[in-house]
Amino acid sequence: MKFSRLVLALTLSAGFIASAAAQTTMRISISVAQNSHQGVAIDTFAREVEKRTAGRYKIQTFYSGALGGERESIEAVQLGTQELAFSSTGPVPNFVPEARILDIPFLFRDKAHARAVLDGPIGQEMLTKFDSKGFKALAWAENGFRHMTNSKRAVNSPDDLKGLKMRTMENPVHVTAYKGLGIVTTPMAFPEVFTALQQGTVDGQENPLSVIMAAKFDQVQKHLSLTGHVYSPAIFLMNKASFDKLSAADKQAFIDAAKEGTKANRARVDEDDAKGAAELKAKGMQVVENVDKSKFVATLAPVNAEFEKQFGKAEIDKIRNYK
């Protein structure tokens, strides 16, 4: 009898060990808070991966730059010290130069246009460019249209930007464009931005409404102008070697989970865009809602001419005129 109980105990124990061993844990990170468009993206992704792989893969989620800023997280994914990251495309050109073209100012008419480009042949072909750099790009998602905030003055036209010291992303296209607007650019990782604004190290920054709200920049910035100067995509990235180890079914499960994350992410961006200006105004920010974007486009004409040389006018027009 004792022997039977011992065999049963060992069998159950072995079962538990096998079950535990069968679950693989992976990590994914964002640089903003959980209650955000990026938070819903990775939370949805984590749930979907676990569901679609019957619990064999568990995704641990990290928020607010707990594993570092976007550039650090992307680097960690490339090196394989972190399996997954969700990031805006801001730092991506440092790893995949082909993605630079997406950050050209006033490239996209609206979110519908941007989403159609990313979900269509142009965007899907660009995802393949990540393979040779140590990544599997699972899906495009969205950060949103970027707007200017600062602590000094209302921005109604490009002239109002001259001399403002603004935090920018670590992105060469952004830096070149903003210098063309007369901004004193200060590239900086996102986790450092709130403190830099609070201490007056920089006068302002630029980000989509979703990020401005999630980061509580209304606490350290007085002025918001809805310039919508750059559409900022986001992306689900996975270490290529980690992805390649998956079975064919699990590979598809991760891709499909990322697509579900994108749906949730875009829905939250739409929600934040609809209510963001009013909420930030209610919190004390002075908001310039009707910005004459044609003045910004005209000021950037010399910079755009340089971009046409760099990327090819035909390639830019292919995106700009996509239906």
Could you write out the DSSP letters of every residue in 95-114? T-GGGGGGGSTT--SSHHHH
* Confidence at residue 36, expressed as pLDDT on a 0 to 100 scale: 97
CB neighbour list of residue 82: distance below 8 Å, 6 or more residues apart: 27, 29, 67, 73, 76, 239
Confidence (pTM): 0.91
Q: Give the Cβ contact number of residue 157 at 10 Å.
A: 14
What residues make up the domain containing 94? 2-320
Task: Indicate the SS3 state at residue 78.
Answer: helix
Q: How far apart are CA 25 and CA 319, in angstroms?
A: 38
| Angle separating helix axes 248-282 and 37-52, nearest 10 degrees | 160
pLDDT average, residue stretch 61-84: 97
Domain of 125, CATH number, reads 3.40.190.170
The tally of domains found in the chain comes to 1
Confidence of residue 22 (pLDDT cuts 50, 70, 90): confident
Separation of alpha carbons 231 and 237, rounded Å: 19
User: pLDDT digits over 282-315, tens only?
Assistant: 999 999 999 999 999 999 999 999 999 999 999 9
The residue to which tokens 């994108």 are assigned: 262
- Largest interatomic CA distance in the chain: 89
Percentage of the chain exceeding pLDDT 90: 93
Residue 34 CA, distance from chain mean position: 13
Please say whether the dihedral angle defined by the alpha carbons of residues 167, 183, 202 and 216, taken in this order, is positive or negative: negative
Q: Which residue has the tokens 């007085």?
A: 222
**Residue matched to tokens 């910004």:** 296
Average model confidence (pLDDT) across the chain: 94
pLDDT of residue 12: 46
> Averaged over 45-68, what is the pLDDT?
97
pLDDT-derived band at 16 (thresholds 50, 70, 90) equals: very low
For tokens 């468009």, what's the residue? 37
Segment 258-277 mean pLDDT: 97
